[in-house]
Amino acid sequence: MTLLPSICQDIPATDGDREVNIEAIVSEYTLNLEQERAFHIIAEHSMLLKPGPLQMFLNGHGGTGKSRVINAVTDFFQQRNQSRRFWLCSYTGVAVKNIAGMTLHSALLLNHHAKKGVVTQTNHDLVLMWQRVDYMFIDEVSMVGSKLLVQINNAL
């Protein structure tokens, strides 16, 4: 499992955000040093008022704790009342069920972009769907080919 988080929009944190004890989350999820480093990068970046893009590649063999990091990040955003700020996506429907996310094609309306005459409506729908979403985590990114990566880039 491989994850690639990236910023989709530049939305500042609001005053209504809850304070969260980052170290308590690190402890609760028993993150090792590398996992903790990845978690801190994402958590601290999300608290910046005007963050630049964050592109991060989290990889490793099965059982190395990638899901543990994502679970900690999920909990972090939930505790801050900001669950809407990120989406979990994957290439396959099977992987989507494992992460309780959505397929890349659904998240980015990629099938709709191929149809003539619906591009304007699709772009409008895509903007509405992604309002207030800052992070997209792609699970099983090794299954994503270069053509789809270009489509993802163009959609974002």
Give the tens place of pLDDT for each residue, 55-89.
999 998 888 888 899 999 999 999 999 988 988 89
Q: Is residue 1 part of a domain?
A: no
Q: Does 134 or 123 have the greater pLDDT score?
A: 134
Task: Quote the CA–CA distance of 135 and 55 in Å, as a whole number.
Answer: 10
**How big is the chain, counted in residues?**
156
Pairing of strands 6-7, 102-103: unpaired
- State the chain's mean pLDDT as an integer: 82
Could you tell me the residue range of the domain that residue 144 belongs to? Answer: 6-155
Domain count, the chain: 1
In this predicted structure, the answer to whether residue 127 has a pLDDT above a threshold of 80 is no
- Beta carbons of 80 and 39 less than 8 angstroms apart: no
Q: Is residue 117 part of a domain?
A: yes
- Closest listed residue to residue 126, CA positions, set 146, 141, 111, 140: 111
CATH for 44: 3.40.50
- C-alpha 21/C-alpha 73 separation (Å) is 12
Q: Count CB neighbours of 127 within 10 A.
A: 10
Percentage with pLDDT > 90 across the chain: 33
The answer, yes or no, to whether residue 92 has pLDDT greater than 80, is yes
pTM equals 0.75
For residue 111, is pLDDT > 90?
no
Would residue 54 count as lying in a domain?
Answer: yes
Does some domain include residue 18? Answer: yes
Q: Answer yes or no: are the C-beta atoms of 47 and 98 closer than 8 Å.
A: no
